[in-house]
Amino acid sequence: MSKLTNPSLLLLRNEDELVGKSILVVNFEQDGFLRELKTLNPDANITAFSYNHANAMYASKVAGVHAVVDHTIPHGNYDLVIYYYPKAKPEALMCLDNIRAVCHQDAQLFVVGENKSGVKSAEKQLKDHCGFSNKIDSAKHCILYLFSELTLNNSFAISRYHKQFQVKAGDIEFTAISVPGVFNHGALDVGTAVLLNNAPRISQGKVLDFACGAGIIATYLGLKAPELEFVCSDVSALATYATEQTLALNNLKGEAVLSDGLAEISGKFDLIISNPPFHTGIATDYTIAEAFLSSAKQHLSKQGKLTIVANSFLKYPPILEAQFGQYSTDFKNTKFAVYSAK
């Protein structure tokens, strides 16, 4: 069994409370908690919901658990909801609104998280939306809250959380749409801006925008060259949703694909372009980028090109050299570098 994370250990210390007929677990960890929960509730319907495709794939392998990945939680009249509090407060606010639209009026909501994730904010966020709240346990730098007598929402529409913002790079300006939980929500991040200003010229062919976020890179290239075909991929259902909204707003066509790395991507591309993630939580983590760069080669056409932006301090050159033999540095300053390889 996978090692239990501290929030899961804290939940299982209170296993007598974790009883329900229709149970929803949101933003769960890739550990053994779902199996333990099923053992405690063998006859319950358990839905494991995540915005993250990799997490949902993990949960789908747990016997007796229904795994769902989407941008909105499905309705289920849940009487027990367990929510692992995320690092982004706007995402938590949106998700808690969504939870209050899909659960039973007598539902018990447990919110667990590490202190550094800001889990204490849950009390404030739910203060006006529940009749009862209680901090029921804390250990290993984590807190577990119980909320009940919830004020339910009649419905939930993610469109209420759309945030429009302007993107300007070179002679192109357009409006993008983001939702909470998407990378750099509601603004153009500096790394992507650097990439746009140093993007390769391409007028036709197929482009893969990997780790697409709100679809900014694909939209910029599509407005410059309307003949291009786009596939935009991300591990986050919130990101693929935001990308679809941004492309539609700018009258561009493109396919948004949920994928853990390039696992769900097929075919070859004339350009693969990305501002790839290099964090797992707070720590620098090269595994996503390394896996992406090692798989990218198989998805490039004969004349195809890979272009990425990265923080200058990150050790991408040796990875690029190992995978492609050679690469070029298209731009570099003290903060960012743009690399290309064929």
Domain ranges of the chain: 6-157, 162-341
Question: From CA 165, how far away is CA 91, in angstroms rounded?
Answer: 18
Angle at which helix 316-324 crosses helix 287-296, to 10 degrees, equals 30
Overall fold of domain 6-157: Rossmann fold (3.40.50)
Beta-sheet pairing, 300-311 with 336-341? antiparallel
User: Each residue of 38-74: b (16+ CB within 10 Å) or e?
Assistant: beebeebbbbbbbbbbbbbbbbeebeebebbbbbbbe
Question: From CA 234, how far away is CA 116, in angstroms rounded?
Answer: 26
Q: What are the pLDDT tens digits along the chain (342 aa)?
A: 468 999 999 999 999 999 999 999 999 999 999 999 999 999 999 999 999 999 999 999 999 999 999 999 999 999 999 999 999 999 999 999 999 999 999 999 999 999 999 999 999 999 999 999 999 999 999 999 999 999 999 999 999 999 999 999 999 999 999 999 999 999 999 999 999 999 999 999 999 999 999 999 999 999 999 999 999 999 999 999 999 999 999 999 999 999 999 999 999 999 999 998 875 544 556 677 788 888 999 999 999 999 999 988 888 899 899 999 999 999 999 999 999 999
DSSP 52: B
Q: What is the largest CA-CA distance in the chain?
A: 63
Q: Which among 304, 86, 45 has a CA at the least distance from the CA of 200?
A: 304
- The tokens of 76 are what? 């289920």
Q: Which residues contact 175 (CB under 8 A, 6 or more apart)?
A: 164, 165, 166, 167, 246, 249, 250
Question: Distance from first CA to last CA of the chain, Å, rounded?
Answer: 42
The answer to whether the 6-157 and 162-341 domains have the same CATH topology is: yes
Specify the CATH architecture of the domain 162-341.
3-Layer(aba) Sandwich (3.40)
In 3-state terms, what secondary structure has residue 181?
A: coil
pLDDT of residue 313: 86
Q: Which residues contact 281 (CB under 8 A, 6 or more apart)?
A: 87
What amino acid is encoded at 123 in this protein?
E
pTM of the model: 0.95
